[in-house]
Amino acid sequence: MSLYYDPILDVHHKLPVMVAVINALYLAPQRPADAQRLYEAGLGMVGALGEGPPSVIGERNTGVALLVAREWGDDATATRLATAAEENYEPTWEPARGEFTWGFRLDEEHPRGQFNAIMAAAEVVTPGAWTALSTVAPTPTGGEVVAVEFPTVALRRAEWLDGQLHLATVPMNDDVVGRPTSWRITGLDDPDRWTVTSGVVAETSSEDGDLVIHTVVGSHDYTVSPR
């Protein structure tokens, strides 16, 4: 397989077919039939396709293959890859940081970014979601959430429905619960026309054309609505 081709020098950067699963990820939204051929050839070469014992095929390849398997609903292959990743890649939860990472047995001070990024994507992808990023136009929104105090607080939901913005937050850990925090919603026509409702204290102000929500850190739900 050619991972890269230089037309000036007429040189192919050739790699084993098992690496083809990486190209399958990028081709999936554009040329799904060709992507399927690369995916099956790559995983078939190392015996990791379909049902069988847990299989890892290298840190990045495992994450890519798991993402594509879940994207296409290949549950048998996904189960093998996910099980092997659980057994071999040191999934670690750090309560103090509210952070979940994989160590990959690298014994490094900081989790390897590229490997963790693809594994995180593979964890959250649902069938068709990867392709939809490239083929489905985003739903028009009235504004975007910015300036969240991450990682002290993170958003697990930010969704526009019927003209309202629905938000849900989670704290980094129990120690930060109750601290004051704020974030902004930018892009609204008139921030003074919007209000927020929640089960906890939540107030709004207008600053530099943005709606600012003042609240406290915790697991809370918010609804931002026009007055």
Q: Are residues 110 and 182 in the same domain?
A: no
135, 152, 178 - which closes a domain: 135
> What confidence tier does 204 reach under pLDDT thresholds 50, 70, 90?
very high
Domain hosting 177: range is 144-226
For the stretch 82-111, pLDDT in tens is: 999 999 999 999 998 889 999 999 999 999
Q: Are residues 157 and 187 in the same domain?
A: yes
The tally of domains found in the chain comes to 2
65, 100, 135 - which closes a domain: 135
116, 135, 154 - which closes a domain: 135
For the stretch 146-187, pLDDT in tens is: 999 999 999 999 999 999 999 999 999 999 999 999 999 999
Secondary structure string (H, E, C) spanning the chain: CEEEEECCCCEEEECCHHHHHHHHHHHCCCCHHHHHHHHHHHHHHCCCCCCCCCCCCCHHHHHHHHHHHHHCCCHHHHHHHHHHHHHHCCEEEECCCCEEEECCCCCCCCCCHHHHHHHHHHHHCCCCHHHHHHHCCCCCCCCEEECCCCCCEEEEEEEEECCEEEEEEEECCHHHCCCEEEEEEECCCCHHHEEEEECCCCEEEEECCEEEEEEECCCCEEEEEEC
